[in-house]
Amino acid sequence: MCLYQRFELVKPTVLIATTCRWFSAARLAMALSSAGYTIKAVCPPDHPLSKTSVIQERYNYRGLMPLISFREAITRGNPDLIIPGDDLAVQHLHQLYYRELRRGSAGANTCRLIERSMGVSESFPVVYSRSKFMNLAEEEGIRVPKTQAIANIEELRDWGVRMGFPTVLKANGTSGGEGVRVVHSPREAERAFRRLQAPPILARVAKTVLLDRDTTLVWPMLSRRRSVVNAQVFIPGREATTLVACWKGTVLAALHFEVLSKQDSTGPASVVRMIEDPDMVSAAEKMVRRLNLSGLHGFDFMLEAQTGNAYLIEINPRTTQVGHLRLGLGRDLPAALHAAISGGVVCETTKVTESDTIAFFPQEWLRNPGSAFLTSGHHDVPWEEPELVRLCLRKKRNWGNLFSKGKLSQAFSEARLPRS
């Protein structure tokens, strides 16, 4: 019996847990809904998720009480699975697991749910620490760049002498390129290290609280918590990314892409092209098996310029912006995960596009409204949710820094948004 014949009988509930207002969480919710899930969410107020028609229940994420927010959402939502939408959500779920573990039998159900959703608890310290993950990957025989946790300026200087420049500095627990710097000299490295390691400054926290109504940085600022910074050998080449649906250490379905365009040098991709690279496939399968992972997990690679060899550079222990793309058998992550949860069988599914090139909305459109990728590839606009599209447009009020008036006018005319 095909999976889609079972949807009316088996409709698992998934809780999307996110601390930031990323557009990709809403896109994932839409894909999960079409794959037969009941969707609930814990997220900040005014999140794009609230502008979709697929959310059954939404619970407020409170940055000053994050674990309480997540615990209440789990209790009220009673999900079969939790999917974290960003790295801070992953941290909160790990912390909640350890807190509930100390409660003994009273917290056992929550602990089981978190492990069922993300993998065994032994993997938690590894997926959070960039250097530990890279060391484990090296043990598995995976091609990786040398990576080391850097405690102080002296260790950073020693790294520069041994490994040279350019080098990459990465802070643990960051995402979207926010905690990554490519540095080209000792002086630049020391300046970047201090900035990456330092707690959030008052001006940044005030901006996120007052303008974005986001309180997630308040506690890190007040506690003066410093980030762990890692140094990684720079691999010249092209970026690539993998997202897998996995269950108890086995990859169920996977998407592999080469990055064709980005909004900025360290930020997320705005255009990707589907590829099949045996080294990327093997690396993802090995790490999923070694860490006994479940749920959705991303892996980032560099395809070396001279050789084309794939170097694994980090893990994203969560969904990424490609998670909603349903691209057929073996490439439909929501359907594969549904089958694992419900005991169904995955059948051939309808692809969202036949093109192997995906231009993400709004990223590529904002980067260049005249981009050739918007017409040559699949422009991934969620036309079926017009309120979600409108919200995305309203979030970009300061477009004067991005477009000339002529380009902005052209962009609006080309978008042809549905009217209310």
The residues of the chain scoring below 50 in pLDDT are 1, 3-9, 397-420
60-67 contact pairs (CB < 8 A, 24+): 61/17, 61/18, 61/19, 62/215, 63/19, 63/214, 63/215, 63/216, 63/217, 63/218, 63/219, 64/215, 64/218, 64/219, 66/19, 66/92, 66/216, 67/92, 67/95, 67/96, 67/99
Q: Would you state the pLDDT for residue 46?
A: 85
CA distance 73 to 40: 9
51-55 contact pairs (CB < 8 A, 24+): 51/26, 51/385, 51/387, 51/388, 51/390, 51/391, 52/26, 52/385, 52/387, 52/388, 53/385, 54/29, 54/30, 55/29
pLDDT in tens, 362-404: 999 889 999 999 999 999 999 999 999 988 777 654 433 333 3
Q: Would you state the pLDDT for residue 408?
A: 37
Q: Would you state the pLDDT for residue 393?
A: 79
| Bridging pattern class, strands 357-360 and 269-274 | antiparallel
Q: Would you state the pLDDT for residue 401?
A: 39
| Cβ(336)–Cβ(327) below 8 Å | no
- pTM for the model stands at 0.87
Q: Would you state the pLDDT for residue 200?
A: 58
CA distance 23 to 389: 10
| Token reading at 329 | 């058998």
Domains of the chain and CATH, by start:
3-118 (3.40.50.720), 146-233 (3.30.1490.20), 237-415 (3.30.470.20)
